[in-house]
Structure 1
Amino acid sequence: MQDARRQDAALNQDAESTTHFGYSEVRLNEKQGLVDDVFHKVAHRYDVMNDLMSAGLHRLWKDVLVGKIKPSSRGFKHLDVAGGTGDVAFRVARAGGPKTEVTVLDINADMLAVGQERAKKAGLDKQTRFVEANAEELPLPDGEFDAYSIAFGIRNVPRIERALAEAYRVLKRGGHFLCLEFSHVEAPFLARLYESYSFSAIPAMGRLVTGDAAPYRYLVESIRQFPEPEDFAAMIERAGFQRVGYTRLTGGVVAIHSGWKL
């Protein structure tokens, strides 16, 4: 009875609380649906747009991320969250070899469908499984995974603290949490250039490639709303992780955050 009351109270609080959706203010319990709609619209052009928006740099950033994961060839279980199209998962599977098992989890069925098709074409479907679920409520056992990654996805989660708590729960002792996310550019001149490019060129490219600029305008705005690296590192520590740190790449355009379940 007490658990039911607590759940009801949490639901009521979510209905009354607000959060950001890009630069807009929305009810907390509405954000996930709005984010889902964005990715339904872009799923089939998602990877093409990543290449265009970053001039291919996202591939290098993901390579650095997987280099920090270091999957063991003796057997390794990896969870990639918000990784529907499989970009990070396939890198981990190849790096670890045939004894590496990768679970790709995403809340968006369209993104997962793209990933499953790509896995078959790449011959990696036996090493990868695809799960449709919410990062805030992982339908996975405690202490199951050697490593957890989330690339360009954490800023779209309505309740980041819950996602971090779930990451901690499903990792084994000694497990590694890694998050690749857009960050805040340090050099003033580069920051101004990046700002202009983000708000002018990226939505225009989105309209050209997908027929709709709005999803990409949201994605750019969501980057600006994400916490500074120091603040996000503090959130990771509060979730229970130790040896927390981050590495800036490309002048601070992105950062790789790291923490360990010790």
Structure 2
Amino acid sequence: MSDQKHDSTTHFGYQEVPVEDKARRVADVFHSVAAKYDIMNDLMSGGIHRLWKRLTIEQSGVRRGHRVLDIAGGTGDLTLRFSRLVGPEGEVVLADINDSMLKVGRDKLLDHGATGNIEFVQANAECLPFPDNHFDVITIAFGLRNVTDKDAALRSMTRVLKPGGKVMVLEFSKTDNPALTKLYDFYSFNILPQMGRIIANDAESYRYLAESIRMHPDQETLKQMMETAGLVNCKYQNLTGGIVALHTGIKP
């Protein structure tokens, strides 16, 4: 199942736009929000995004000497932790399609003194510029829903993963609790854009982010997409009532 509705259009939030326009529109969103991305993440999630990311790190199995790819790594939250885990003999690649986000991430990691084993690569998840069977672990946190062709991205991740390696997708998902869904919808479409307006001077970008979450495949659909891409032992863990899910799959 691809998220493209038919050959020439795809979803940008709730809008239907030409396929070739989506990457540019998503880029505009992240150029706009890059400078305030970290503070908005803390405000939007009440800091809970840090717990979701910590769980991802704990379940990654990353250890000294590993080679890790952090796709849509943005401002480097996961990359920073992975850099410490893999040590000087390991390597972490922070990849993001958006150069504004990469610059913010690079500056932040420099401030933490953590760039010795980190490489920064501007890359599209749909066609990753790395060799086959290259990485021990690949993560994409809150980035897959912004990719135009998610199936192509999952295939690309599988290609560059070593046999026995793990793909981890941390992403907003679907809650099956009606009361929580109602509360979450109110927050996403009323409070979130206003926070974006006040903090980042950009309500529209945060309205898009809320819409993109609703258009993202549910847990079972994403699990099937990962299996179709060639991953096995695919499973997911719901976090915070299913508002977020952590999907994992192994390359056979």
Q: Is the 8 A contact 1:242 1:260 kept in 2?
A: yes
- Residue in 2 aligned with 1:54? 45
Alignment counterpart, residue 65 of structure 1, candidates 53, 56, 64: 56
Partner amino acid, structure 2, of 1:99: E
Q: Does 1:29 align with 2:20?
A: yes
What is aligned with 2:221?
Answer: 231
Shift of 1:215: 0.3
Over the aligned positions, Cα root-mean-square deviation in angstroms equals 1.4
SS of equivalent residue, structure 2 residue 126 = coil
Residue 154 of structure 2: which of 164, 188, 199 is its match?
164
Q: 1:132 to 1:15 in 2, by over 3 A?
A: farther
Percent of residue pairs identical: 49
The 8 Å contact of residues 177 and 260 in structure 1, kept in 2 or not, is answered as: yes
Which amino acid in 2 is paired with 1:41?
A: S
- After TM superposition, give the deviation of residue 84 of structure 1 in Å: 2.2
- Superposed displacement of residue 248, structure 1: 0.2
- Pick from 186, 197, 217 the counterpart of residue 187 of structure 2: 197
Contact 2:67 2:86 in 1 (8 A): no
Give the alignment of 1:76-95 within 5 angstroms: 76-95=66-85
Q: What is residue 113 of structure 1 aligned with on the other side?
A: 103
- Tell me which residue corresponds to 2:87: 97
Tell me the TM-score normalised to structure 2 length.
0.96
What residue in structure 1 maps to residue 164 of structure 2?
174
- Please point out which of 139, 155, 163 is paired with 1:149: 139
Q: Match for residue 10 of structure 1? A: none
1:116-127 to structure 2, matched below 5 A, reads 116-127=106-117
Q: Distance in 2 between matches of 1:70 and 1:124?
A: 20
Shift of 1:203: 0.4
Q: Would you say the 8 A contact 1:15–1:29 is kept in 2?
A: no
> How far apart, in 1, do the equivalents of 2:181 and 2:44 lie?
16
Structure 1 residue 97 displacement after superposition = 3.1
Deviation at 1:100, TM superposition (A): 2.8
**Equivalent residue of 1:85, what SS?**
coil
Q: Deviations over 1:83-112 (max 9, x none)?
A: 121111111122333333100000100100
Three-state SS of the structure 2 residue aligned to 1:63 is: helix
* 8 Å Cα contact 2:192/2:206 also seen in 1: yes
Higher CA-based Rg: 1
Q: Structure 1: how far apart are the matches of 2:225 and 2:29?
A: 26
Equivalent position amino acid for 1:131 in 2: V
| C-alpha spacing 1:16/1:234, structure 2 compared with 1 (3 Å) | closer
Cα distance, 1:169 vs structure 2: 0.6
Q: Does the 8 Å contact 2:238/2:244 carry over to 1?
A: yes
Q: Unmatched 5+ residue regions in structure 1?
A: 1-12
SS of residue paired to 2:145:
helix
Q: CA deviation at 1:72?
A: 1.5
Alignment CA distance shift 1:22-1:229 (3 Å): same
